[in-house]
Amino acid sequence: MRAAQSLYENGYITYMRTDSVTLSKEAIFAARDCVKSSFGSEYLADSPKQYATTSAGAQEAHECIRPAGSTFRNPADLAGVLPADQLKLYTLIWQRTLASQMADATGFTATVKLDALAGSFGTANFQASGTVIEFAGFMKVFGGFSEDEQSKALPPMANGDVLKSLQVSADGHETQPPARYTEASLVKTLEAKEIGRPSTYASIISTIIDRGYVYERGRALIPSWLAFAVIKLLESNFPTYVDYAFTADMENGLDRIAHGEEAGKDWLYKFYFGDDNAAAAGDSAAAGDFAMREGLQKQVDQLGEIDAREINTIDIGGG
């Protein structure tokens, strides 16, 4: 985010705290002109492309993140001008913007079966499935396949071709447990669960680090003992307020306030004192509705004494 902020402040990209996917007419013209001059008109989409967000909580007050200006600067011209991390980020933004106005890639999926003589073992049979690309289209701007896609790419082949083995290697595959969150993967999860907005993702992460809930080990975010204690305290006494449904409902409430569909003071009153209308929804209401129905004040009044020892005790194993 620091690299993006610096690029924005120095006029290389547009405002980056947005979840819009919309390009202005100026940007579409600039992108199409850049595609034509950099790769040729055959890689240009037949007509300008526009995209719409699929996120229900998207805030589209700004354009999508794109190179700034009516003429896009080529990353090759910025080598030596921008620091390495900023150049890498600008290149990614430039590539994605151009790709949005390029022609589709064409190809087909194929299954290849190979027979090879294995000496006294007879014939060894090998099979692979992958993609054969006939026209690169938008992939041209990325230089072809990504590293992950490259492993699934197949060269053009015809039935009966005799292939020469250049290298043979055995790759082992093991099931891995889920990796620890990094800042990037945590942002993806926040977005998927509709927690926060692009403008608040950076502050959410900095807050949990500054308060000592997590610490960084390399790129990984590691939860501290304090985090476990706080989560246990909240889940034991205020479970509805740490439920994903409540958080998403709260974000929707803030959006309604921002759009003038609900008064901020009224929303806060219901949050603290409870909402009689929500009570009519019954026990089947979602977590967000339940929190509004009860109100924070009532739930606090019902609290008993909190046992600090219990909150700071975590069962390990089966005991």
Residues 188 and 305 both lie in one domain:
yes
Q: For residue 258, how many other CB atoms are within 10 A of its CB?
A: 12
Residues 190 and 306 both lie in one domain:
yes
Alpha-carbon distance of 205 to 186, in angstroms, equals: 8
Residues 93 and 189 both lie in one domain:
no
* 65 lies in some domain: yes
- Look up tokens 């190979």; give the residue: 114
CB burial readout 160-195, b (16+ within 10 A) else e = eeeeeeeeeeeeeeeeeeeeebebeebbeebbeebb
Residues 140 and 193 both lie in one domain:
no
* 167 lies in some domain: no
| Structural domain total, the chain | 3
CATH number for the domain that contains residue 255:
1.10.460.10
* 175 lies in some domain: no
Instruction: Give per-residue pLDDT as tens, 127-170.
Output: 888 888 888 899 899 886 655 565 567 777 778 888 887 887 87
What is the predicted pLDDT for the residue at 205? 93
Identified catalytic residue from 8, 15, 51, 244: 15
Alpha-carbon distance of 243 to 247, in angstroms, equals: 7
Write out residues in the chain with pLDDT < 70, as ranges. 53-61, 144-152, 276-292, 317-319
Helix (H) or strand (E) holding 146: none
What is the predicted pLDDT for the residue at 57? 52
pTM of the full structure = 0.55
* 216 lies in some domain: yes
What is the predicted pLDDT for the residue at 236? 86
Residues 55 and 3 both lie in one domain:
yes
What is the predicted pLDDT for the residue at 284? 45
Residues 138 and 231 both lie in one domain:
no
What is the predicted pLDDT for the residue at 263? 92
CATH number for the domain that contains residue 75:
1.10.290.10
15 catalytic per annotation: yes
Give residue 253's domain range: 183-312
Alpha-carbon distance of 22 to 48, in angstroms, equals: 12
Q: Which residues pair with 153 in a beta bridge?
A: 131
